[in-house]
Amino acid sequence: MNPIIRRGLYAPGAVATATLLVWLIAGSAAALVVMAAGAGAIIAFHLWSLKRVADWAHGPLEADVPEGRGEWAFLLAAIHRRTRMRREHERDLRHTVERFRQAVSAIPDGVVVLDATNRIDWANERALVQLGLDLHHDRGQPVVNLVRQPEFLRYIESDDYSASIVVGSSRDPGRRLALQLVPFAADQKLLMSRDVTELEAVARMRRDFIASVSHELKTPLTVISGFVETLQDVDVDERQRQRFLALMQEQASSMRRLVQDLLALSALESEHNAPQEQPFAVTPLLTSLAADARALSQDQHRIELDIADASTIVASRDEIASAFGNLVSNAVRYTPRGGTVTLRWSIRDGGRGEFAVLDTGIGIAAEHIPRLTERFYRVDRSRSRATGGTGLGLAIVKHVLLRHQAELEIESEVGRGSRFAAILPAQRVEPQGTGATNADAMSGAQSGDREVSDGTNR
């Protein structure tokens, strides 16, 4: 028999026994009084116990289950056990939900939880920033009222969420977001948002890069193929033949320089190609660069070399020579005949080293300066081709300096000239090197191929 039923029969049995005894002893009237009193006591006890349960049921959810007596002890003990299990289950659920939210908050993408009617239930911090949401005011709002993009409205009504869509950010017009709905329960969805601005920029740069390389190779290939067809189909005299071959050689050299610069850029951008750093004297390097500038100039410019502070640089000599050399060759190419190109080395306040190339060339308009280090960006395409540039020199300079934690400063004025300066951090510059490095510097200084200016500006 059920314990509750068995214990519930104790009190009625006792009353019945007492009633029978009184009836036998004192008669029926007295027995009826005893039975009525016993029944009243039993009913009062149950009503009192029922009231306690009712008060608990209508009270706070966290209130403890009241203790019971008699048969109510078993019932309330069972209720207490089930209540404890429910609270433990709820605690586990809260812990699970909290861990889920922590995990979602750690995701680099935005996540918004939507209900069956696409109303906002919750969102992580990244989604709040990307979509401009505020959970205190936007919880329960339809997501289409807050993400006001026609493409997104059509997407959410299509019921086809197999792919994402890309829309502009209403919070920041310059950003692009990829949005995708992911059903994850019978009546809920996840709205995933990802900032793809940089990815789209990289894809655009890749397309532009391929188009630029194709364009740069198209002209010399067209010239070479045209001369080859001419030499195959037309009898030309030896003078014309030599002229055609010289032009073909010039175009082939242009393509070779372009390929070499592309390979250099690829090596600089590779994560697996760390710079081979070692200390070297700056004087022999700048002396060599000045000699190269004179050879490129062919006595059409005045080349000045001003080394204010003999120093040692800790860096990849080949890469630094390439970067400095590109600055020097650009200055020579874009300075008219009779102009001056100055190569200057000095140590700034704070110990930073500065290699500056100053010229009296054609100058650059201010709107072009921020884009000069982009691949194939040219202020004047026709002049760039005439000077033999590949359009990659300053891009190489930028990447070399970045690999050495250095900076590029550009100042220019149209018609007056330009100043390009590579600023090396102090930890890479040692004033007046010692030992073998000084010997190298002395060797370069004694080579005789150096002209030190009086320090005047351009």
Tokens (6 digits) for 290: 């000045």
Cβ 350 vs Cβ 425: under 8 Å: no
DSSP class per residue in 119-136: BEEEE-HHHHHHHT--HH
How big is the chain by its Cα radius of gyration, in Å? Answer: 44
Q: Which of 99, 139, 137 is CA-nearest to residue 123?
A: 139
User: For residue 107, which phi and psi values (nearest 5 degrees)?
Assistant: -70, 135
What's the confidence (pLDDT) of residue 390?
65
Which has the higher per-residue pLDDT, 243 or 432?
A: 243
Span 195-240, pLDDT tens digits: 888 888 878 777 877 777 777 778 788 888 888 888 888 887 888 8
In b/e form, how buried is each residue of 43-71, taking b as 16+ CB within 10 angstroms? Answer: eeeeeebeebbeebeeeeeeeebeebebb
| 457 φ/ψ angles, rounded to the nearest 5 degrees | -80, 175
pLDDT at 312: 93
Which of 66-70, 380-384, 436-440 has the weakest average pLDDT?
436-440
Does pLDDT of 382 surpass 60? no
Cα–Cα distance, 244 to 233 (Å, whole number): 14
Q: How many residues does the chain have?
A: 458
pLDDT beyond 90 at 373: no
**Residue 83 pLDDT > 70:** yes
138 vs 135: CA distance, rounded Å: 5
* Residue whose structure tokens are 């709905």: 181
**Highest mean pLDDT (candidates 2-16, 106-120, 312-326):** 312-326
Query: Which pLDDT band holds residue 332 (cuts at 50, 70, 90)?
Result: very high
144 or 216: which leads in pLDDT = 144
Average confidence (pLDDT) over 345-367 = 91
Domains of the chain are 3-89 (no CATH), 107-195 (3.30.450.20), 199-269 (1.10.287.130), 278-445 (3.30.565.10)
Judged against a pLDDT cut of 50, whether residue 448 lies above it is answered with no
Mean pLDDT of 160-168: 87
> Phi and psi at residue 181, in whole multiples of 5°?
-95, 135
pLDDT at 313: 92
pLDDT at residue 412, as a whole number:
92
Best CA proximity match to 138, nearest among 146, 130, 127: 146
Of 57-66, 114-123, 208-217, 299-308, least confident by mean pLDDT is: 208-217
pLDDT band at 449; cut points 50, 70, 90? very low
Could you tell me the pLDDT band of residue 315, with boundaries at 50, 70 and 90?
very high
What is the pLDDT at residue 422? 94
Contacts of 196 (CB under 8 A, 6+ apart): 166, 176, 177, 178
Per DSSP, the three-state class of 419 is strand
Q: What is the DSSP string of 126-164?
A: HHHHHHT--HHHHTTSBGGGTS--HHHHHHHHH---SS-
Q: Determine the pLDDT at residue 451.
A: 40
**Which of 39-43, 118-122, 258-262, 381-385 is predicted least confidently?**
381-385
What share of the chain in percent tops pLDDT 90? Answer: 21
What was the pLDDT predicted at 456? 31
The pLDDT value given to residue 76: 82
Cα separations in angstroms, 433 against 26, 306, 312, 440: 128, 18, 5, 10
Position 388 confidence tier, pLDDT thresholds 50, 70, 90: low
Mean of per-residue pLDDT scores for the chain: 82
Asked whether the predicted pLDDT for residue 421 surpasses 80, the reply is: yes
DSSP one-letter code for 452:
B
How far is the C-alpha of 169 from the C-alpha of 179, rounded, in Å? 11
With DSSP H G I counted as helix, E B as strand and the rest as coil, what are the percentages for the chain, rounded to 5?
55, 20, 25
pLDDT of residue 348: 87
pLDDT at 230 (0 to 100) = 84
Rounded mean pLDDT, 400-420:
92
What pLDDT score does 433 carry? 46
Q: What pLDDT, on a 0 to 100 scale, did the predictor assign at position 1?
A: 61
Average pLDDT of the segment spanning 150-169: 86
CA dihedral 139, 140, 145, 151 (to 10 degrees): 90
φ and ψ at 327, to 5 degrees?
Answer: -65, -40
